[in-house]
Amino acid sequence: MYLHDKRLQYPVKVEKPNPVFAKALQQAIGGIEGEIRVCLQYFFQAWGARGPSKYRDMLLETATEELGHIEMLATAVALNLEGAPQALQEEVSSDPINGSVLNGMDMRQILSTGLAALPTDSNGVPFDTSHCYASGNLAADMFANVTAESTGRVLATRLYNMTDDPGMKDMISFLIARDTMHQQQWMAAIEDMGGVEKMFPIPNSFPQEQEASEFSYKFMGTSADRGEPTQGRWSSGKSMDGKAEFTSGPMEAHGEEPKLAPPDPMIGGAQKEQMSMVAQGAKIVKDALS
């Protein structure tokens, strides 16, 4: 159950409406770095969370807060659109400012919403949930959340630098601060689950003796000259989970060249030249299945 308070989580004020900035703010609403993304990601992680209830509860708390951030940003978009040019004549006006503003606007914010926000990114692409990650593995989800909050904070700092409106800077500074906290809380949750040494590799429930262990901690180089791979913390020394030593070397071809049977004549669609060994191919397939 969710309860709503009509008051915003933080003040949203616009001193000088800017419809171009309204379009930029759409990225923070419906972009892949935006608030709809993290809101749904945290909700679905919570709704599917199994195990200690404290992780589910924390996810629900933060997901609900993100709904409030969408509300703030949608309000900011609407306030930035107040007084926006709505006549196409202004595009060809002798006033270059009005013309450039109209050209920089999202027309759907006039045509589809009547000067309001959309569930889209700054290019007008509808949000489609493709970047909402909820794996059912709490450790994997927490790392995904750190990434989500990191890219969201990068976006927020860019938006902060794009505007000189004091009200918008104040609102965005709040969102940046919350991104800071959320990064910290997901990392704290990772530590709470035992930290890197206990949770890696994810999932830690899979028996590592069933891995092809000779490849588990080897950094492989893919350069054409088969030289030494790029060296760093990842190529030597103790592995991050403390279970092995990192090694490195050029990638080796352990498999064979793939050989496929000729096309199936019952399916069709191939060239005649591809069908020259159909009988032999059928025998290959028959032998493989027998």
CA-based R_g, the chain, Å? 27
* 131 is an annotated ligand-binding site residue: no
* CA–CA gap between residue 97 and residue 93 (Å, rounded): 9
Q: What angle do helix axes 19-30 and 138-162 make, rounded to 10 degrees?
A: 170
**Strand 245-250 vs strand 218-221: parallel, antiparallel, or unpaired?**
parallel
pLDDT tops 60 at residue 7: yes
> What band does 92 get if pLDDT is binned at 50, 70 and 90?
very low
* 182 is an annotated ligand-binding site residue: yes
* 66 is an annotated ligand-binding site residue: yes
The CATH topology of domain 19-197 is Ferritin (1.20.1260)
Q: What angle do helix axes 138-162 and 166-192 make, rounded to 10 degrees?
A: 160
> What band does 89 get if pLDDT is binned at 50, 70 and 90?
very low
Domain ranges across the chain: 19-197, 208-250
- pLDDT value of position 282: 58
Greater confidence, 35 or 230? 35
- Is the sign of the CA dihedral 97, 101, 102, 103 positive or negative? positive
Determine the average pLDDT of the residues in 24-32: 96
* 4 is an annotated ligand-binding site residue: no
* CA–CA gap between residue 204 and residue 193 (Å, rounded): 12
* 149 is an annotated ligand-binding site residue: yes
Determine the average pLDDT of the residues in 206-230: 86
The string of pLDDT tens digits covering residues 141-164 is: 999 999 999 999 999 999 999 999
- pLDDT value of position 111: 73
DSSP-derived 3-state class of residue 151: helix
- pLDDT value of position 279: 54
Q: Which residue, among 73, 75, 89, 82, has the nearest Cα to 110 in the 3D structure?
A: 82
HSE-up (13 A, CA, CB side) for residue 154: 8
- pLDDT value of position 273: 77
Determine the average pLDDT of the residues in 260-289: 70
- pLDDT value of position 223: 83
Q: Which residue, among 139, 145, 140, 242, has the nearest Cα to 193 in the 3D structure?
A: 139
* CA–CA gap between residue 248 and residue 229 (Å, rounded): 7
